């Protein structure tokens, strides 16, 4: 098979196939986009990047679109990477930086994933799109769908922060709350797929989202002059952030722009729902959280990630690890970030909390350079409720009373 500009390859069985809007291989593995990097390098180089647009679309050769006309952008990406000298001294660490992902449109890094996904769906002529979410994916999808003139349906848990729910409504999405967790919302969307004719844009259901998130890694490398840090710390839920970062470095290494080992990848989760941490510590496969979920309503609360084994493999391959932090530790880290002038979401603050624990145990040494990802800002999580509240649904039949099938 001769290679197109890009194709799909299964991360599990390694089978290559033509590009399509598909997230899973027949073997169950996650399908990742594979580019003709030799072709990409004809127009893309470290030098000519200097003159490009300050958004994630500066890396257009490494994003899976056929035409640049399809791009749906609200100015996402190219977020600042800043140093935290006071914390470096306090924690006795050579270099500590934070990537300020809260500065993205819709206030979280989810904007990157949906800029690429919605662009891709536009290229395929899709008009109606649905997503199960803990919150930030819902509001990001709602915004990009609005920008593209698509109809959006979002379903979030009932304890999702009210301000994020309000955001979805303001972007014009059909907004529902599920009595349950993110996977219950996912089951409803799958159930309604044929009747409602919507595309399920959930985590790892199509190849676009990981690609958008990948641009965080491309940027980190470019902003670091193509010399990566020793450790990166990422707050992990569904896991496409980790996969995206790893894929970015892998592609840059194949392009020959990076030397040396990959950074050690660290996933941070919250105590009470930490399937990745359990798998990494036990050396076993990732299995759905068995105990009742007790963690806070954040993007980290994903008891059954779609391809947990891929995340665990990346953590092991890079000599990384996974660590759980408590809601108390997260709250303290949020205050500490605040004293540096940084507004952090619980997820973003979890990276500081996890890093401090790993420094204490000397897993991170004084000679290491570390990058944290502040994936969202604090204000979205303030206690406030929309009025009226969006409808609460238990199953697809409930949702159907609000959103009749297209044919009726
Ligand atoms: C979704 C989300 C995460 C988790 O990212 P994944 O890519 O799903 O692992 C972390 N932080 C915030 C703020 C999020 O919205």
Question: Percent of the chain having pLDDT more than 70?
Answer: 100
Distance between CA atoms of 1 and 380, rounded to whole angstroms?
48
Residue 333 structure tokens: 């880290």
Residue 98 structure tokens: 């934070």
Adjacent-strand bridge partners of 218: none
With a CB cutoff of 8 Å and minimum separation 6, the contacts of 175 are: 138, 142, 154, 156, 165, 168, 169, 390
When mean pLDDT is compared across 50-54, 159-163, 291-295, the lowest value belongs to 291-295
With a CB cutoff of 8 Å and minimum separation 6, the contacts of 170 are: none
pLDDT score of 197: 96
Mean pLDDT of 46-54: 96
Return the residue whose CA atom lies nearest to atom 14 of ligand 1.
299
- Tell which wins on pLDDT, 363 or 4: 363
Place 406 in a pLDDT band, splitting at 50, 70 and 90.
confident
Q: Which one of 109, 182, 345 would you pick to mutate in the ligand 1 pocket, going by the greatest count of ligand atoms within 8 A of its CB?
A: 109
Return the residue whose CA atom lies nearest to atom 7 of ligand 1.
241
SS3 sequence of the chain: CCCCCEEEEECCCCCEECCCCCCECCCCCEEEEEECHHHHHHHCCCCHHHHCCCCHHHHHHHCCCCCHHHCCCCCCCCCCEEECHHHHHHHCCCEEEEECHHHCHHHECHHHHHHHHHHHHHHCCCCEEEEECCCHHHHHHHHHHHHHCCEEEEEEECCCCHHHHHHHHHCCCEEEEECCCHHHHHHHHHHCHHHHCCEECCCCCCCHHHHHHHHHHHHHHHHCCCCCCCEEEEECCCCHHHHHHHHHHHHHHHHCCCCCCCCEEEEEEECCECHHHHHHHHCCCCCCCCCCCCCCCCCCCCCCCCCHHHHHHHHHHCCCEEEEECHHHHHHHHHHHHCCCCCCCHHHHHHHHHHHHHHHCCCCCCCCEEEEECCECHHHHCCCCCCCCCCEECCHHHHHHHCCCCCC
The predicted model scores a pTM of: 0.97
pLDDT at 261 over 90: no
Dihedral (Cα; 77, 78, 79, 81), 10-degree rounding: 140
Residue 62 structure tokens: 């490494």
Place 2 in a pLDDT band, splitting at 50, 70 and 90.
low
pLDDT at 1 over 60: no
pLDDT at 59 over 90: yes
Residue 120 structure tokens: 């891709």
Distance between CA atoms of 26 and 233, rounded to whole angstroms?
32
pLDDT tens readout for residues 274-304: 999 999 999 999 999 888 999 999 999 999 9
Q: Which one of 111, 186, 235 would you pick to mutate in the ligand 1 pocket, going by the greatest count of ligand atoms within 8 A of its CB?
A: 235
Cβ–Cβ under 8 Å, residues 326 and 350: no
Is 346 touching ligand 1 by the criterion CB < 6 Å? Answer: no
Residue 287 structure tokens: 């299995």
pLDDT score of 339: 97
pLDDT at 390 over 80: yes
Mean pLDDT of 320-334: 98
Other Cβ atoms within 10 Å of 254 Cβ, number: 14
How many A from CA of 2 to the centre of ligand 1?
Answer: 36
Tell me how far apart the 2 most distant CA atoms of the chain are, in Å. Answer: 65
Return the residue whose CA atom lies nearest to atom 1 of ligand 1.
299
Is 297 touching ligand 1 by the criterion CB < 6 Å? Answer: no
Phi (first) and psi of residue 172, to 5 degrees: 85, 15
Cβ–Cβ under 8 Å, residues 144 and 74: yes
How many A from CA of 157 to the centre of ligand 1?
Answer: 15
pLDDT score of 241: 98
Atom of ligand 1 nearest to the CA of 240: 7
Bond prior to 182 in cis (omega within 30° of 0): no
Place 395 in a pLDDT band, splitting at 50, 70 and 90.
very high
pLDDT score of 235: 98
Other Cβ atoms within 10 Å of 66 Cβ, number: 13
Q: Which one of 102, 110, 156, 233 would you pick to mutate in the ligand 1 pocket, going by the greatest count of ligand atoms within 8 A of its CB?
A: 110
Place 408 in a pLDDT band, splitting at 50, 70 and 90.
confident
pLDDT score of 132: 98
Q: Which one of 186, 286, 375 would you pick to mutate in the ligand 1 pocket, going by the greatest count of ligand atoms within 8 A of its CB?
A: 375
pLDDT score of 75: 98
Is 238 touching ligand 1 by the criterion CB < 6 Å? Answer: yes
Cβ–Cβ under 8 Å, residues 76 and 118: no
Distance between CA atoms of 218 and 55, rounded to whole angstroms?
12
pLDDT score of 3: 73
Residue 353 structure tokens: 């909390």
pLDDT at 93 over 90: yes
Is 274 touching ligand 1 by the criterion CB < 6 Å? Answer: no
């Amino acid at each position: 098979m001769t290679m197109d500009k890009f194709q799909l390859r299964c991360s599990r069985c390694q089978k290559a196939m033509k590009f399509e809007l598909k997230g899973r291989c027949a073997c169950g593995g996650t399908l990742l986009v594979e580019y003709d990097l030799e072709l990409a390098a004809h127009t893309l180089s470290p030098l000519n990047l200097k003159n490009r647009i300050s958004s994630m679309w500066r890396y257009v050769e490494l994003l899976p679109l056929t035409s640049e006309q399809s791009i749906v952008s609200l100015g996402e990406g190219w977020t600042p990477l800043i140093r935290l000298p006071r914390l470096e001294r306090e924690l006795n660490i050579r270099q500590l930086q934070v990537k300020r992902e809260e500065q993205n449109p819709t206030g979280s890094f989810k904007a990157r994933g949906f800029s690429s996904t919605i662009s891709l769906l536009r290229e395929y002529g899709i008009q109606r799109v649905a997503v199960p979410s803990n919150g930030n994916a819902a509001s990001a999808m709602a915004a990009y769908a609005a920008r593209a003139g698509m109809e959006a349906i979002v379903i979030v848990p009932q304890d999702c922060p009210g301000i994020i729910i309000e955001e979805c409504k303001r972007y014009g999405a059909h907004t529902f709350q599920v009595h349950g967790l993110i996977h219950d919302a996912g089951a409803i969307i799958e159930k309604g797929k044929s009747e409602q004719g919507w595309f399920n844009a959930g985590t790892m259901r199509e190849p676009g989202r990981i690609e958008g998130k990948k641009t965080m890694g491309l940027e980190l490398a470019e902003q670091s002059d193509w010399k990566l840090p020793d450790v990166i710390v990422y707050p992990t839920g569904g896991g496409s952030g980790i996969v995206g970062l790893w894929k970015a470095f892998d592609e840059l290494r194949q392009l020959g722009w990076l030397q040396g080992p990959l950074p050690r990848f660290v996933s941070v989760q919250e105590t009470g729902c930490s399937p990745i941490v359990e798998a990494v510590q036990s050396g076993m496969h990732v299995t759905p959280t068995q105990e009742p979920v007790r963690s806070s309503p954040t993007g980290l609360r994903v008891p059954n990630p779609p391809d947990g084994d891929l995340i665990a493999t990346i953590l092991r391959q890079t000599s990384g690890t996974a660590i759980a932090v408590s809601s108390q530790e997260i709250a303290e880290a949020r205050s500490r970030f605040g004293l540096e002038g940084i507004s952090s979401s619980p997820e973003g603050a979890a990276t500081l909390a996890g890093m401090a624990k790993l420094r204490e145990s000397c897993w991170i040494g004084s000679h290491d350079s570390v990058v944290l990802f502040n994936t969202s800002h604090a204000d979205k999580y303030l206690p406030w409720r929309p009025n009226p509240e969006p409808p609460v649904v238990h199953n697809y039949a409930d949702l159907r009373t609000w959103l009749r099938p297209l044919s009726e």
